[in-house]
Amino acid sequence: MKSNYLILGSLLSAIITTSVHASDAKSSCTINNYQQLVDCATANSSNKQIADQQLKTSYELKNSADQWINPEISIERLSKDSQTVETSASLLFTLRLGGKANALSKIAQSEINRSKANYSLQSQNIRLEIILSLYRLSHLKKEIQIESESGETFEKIIQQYQKKPVLSPEQEVSLAIFKMALGDHQLKLIQLKSDENAIYEALVSMTQIPRKVIGQNLPQQKSNWPEVIAEASTRESPQLLRSAAELELAQSELDKAQSDAWPDLKIGPSFKRNEISGTSENYSGIGLSLSLPIFSLNGGEKAYRRQKVIEAEYEFNLSKNKDESARTVLQEKYRNILIALKNIPSTTILNQKHEYVERQFFKGLISSSLVIEAHRQLFELEERRNSSELSALETYGQLMILSNQMNETNL
């Protein structure tokens, strides 16, 4: 049940960003199998579209950093009397000194790199969430089938007891037990169908793919599990790439703080005209403006940015250590889950044993409590297998995200 809440939580948080109703959902994808469904659902995801837009937005920072500063024009006209007039004008262009333009360009590029890392992480997490949701729907379909069959079996047994004219004390107790068991299975069935509907509605709202199409292309129970590729651990994770971009951004901010200690030079043509008693004189030359760095060399800002660089270095090293530790833990967990899954009897074998128990009961060879226990164990074992399968899928997916390969992975 815990896996249900995790999947529902991630999906419901995702659909907050879209107002598309399930009844109006449409998809332009061609979907004929499970893999096409995963690819289409990932591409149509509202969260994926937001991540795409955020990445596009970040590229505009480069244009903003590279743009020129508008020139300044200054015009002044002074008169002493009607016979004496002085007019002056200048057009000044700003030149950034100390490497300001380069620092701004580096900041913009660092922001873009961070957005790329965030985009990679978000898109891979979205793909994994959709895969887990589709597998959970496949599991719920099987669990609902088991509970429905159990309910039908108990109803059949109850009807047989009720058709008898007289029941022995033992039969009356058995009838009561089967009625309680039927009620318990019916409640479970209601909850399972509620979970199934919630996941369907969340997927439809998030991806705009009709429920019928999703239901027709669910994955089958997994039998062949991929191995963890050792070479994948050499690839940098999106988390580490984001930390590297933040370190690069901190260094770029320090470069800008150092460049801000330099004043901007404003230079351009200058013109002056004097008019005295009808006689005029014209002057032309170069004008410039430069602030003097006497009272401040931007020391406070530079000291702050140096500390931010040290902080970013710590964050980068921590992220690197976390990646290495997480990879080791996830690999071990994945191997252990696969070992456990291999030891669980197949659904076919369980169904055969389950049917054998029912036949023996109808022959009067085993008690009612054993039949009820067999149905309960069948469902619980299926539930545990499904939970373990989801855990294995999530663990392998997290490993692929750490290796920056989830978008290339089919599960």
Domain regions of the chain by residue span: 2-408
pLDDT tens, residue by residue, 372-382: 888 888 888 88
Check residue 124 and give its pLDDT.
92
> What is the spatial distance between Cα 60 and Cα 220, in angstroms, rounded to a whole number?
44
> Residues 277-305, buried b or exposed e (16+ Cβ, 10 A)?
eeeeeeeeeebeeeeeeeeeebeebeeeb
Contacts within 8 Å (CB) and 24+ apart, 301-310: 301/257, 301/260, 302/254, 302/257, 302/258, 302/261, 304/257, 305/250, 305/253, 305/254, 305/256, 305/257, 306/254, 308/250, 308/253, 308/254, 309/247, 309/250, 309/251, 309/254
Pick the more confident residue, 312 or 62.
Answer: 312
Check residue 354 and give its pLDDT.
66
Mean per-residue pLDDT for 289-301? 84
pLDDT tens, residue by residue, 232-287: 566 789 999 999 999 999 999 999 899 888 888 889 999 998 888 778 888 899 98
pLDDT tens, residue by residue, 202-214: 999 888 899 999 9
> What is the spatial distance between Cα 287 and Cα 90, in angstroms, rounded to a whole number?
7
Check residue 16 and give its pLDDT.
39
> What is the spatial distance between Cα 104 and Cα 52, in angstroms, rounded to a whole number?
24
Fold classification of 2-408 is Outer membrane efflux proteins (OEP) (1.20.1600)
> What is the spatial distance between Cα 102 and Cα 96, in angstroms, rounded to a whole number?
10
Res. 1: pLDDT tops 60? no
- Per the structure block, which two tokens stand in for 404? 């920056």
Mean per-residue pLDDT for 73-85? 85
> What distance lies between CA 113 and its chain's CA centroid?
17
pLDDT tens, residue by residue, 114-137: 888 988 998 999 999 999 999 999
Q: Give the best-scoring range by mean pLDDT among 163-172, 228-237, 395-404.
A: 395-404
Check residue 135 and give its pLDDT.
96
Pick the more confident residue, 140 or 79.
Answer: 140
Whole-structure pTM value = 0.80
Res. 94: pLDDT tops 80? yes
Check residue 23 and give its pLDDT.
36
Q: How large a percentage of the chain has pLDDT more than 90?
A: 35
pLDDT tens, residue by residue, 48-66: 888 888 888 888 887 777 7
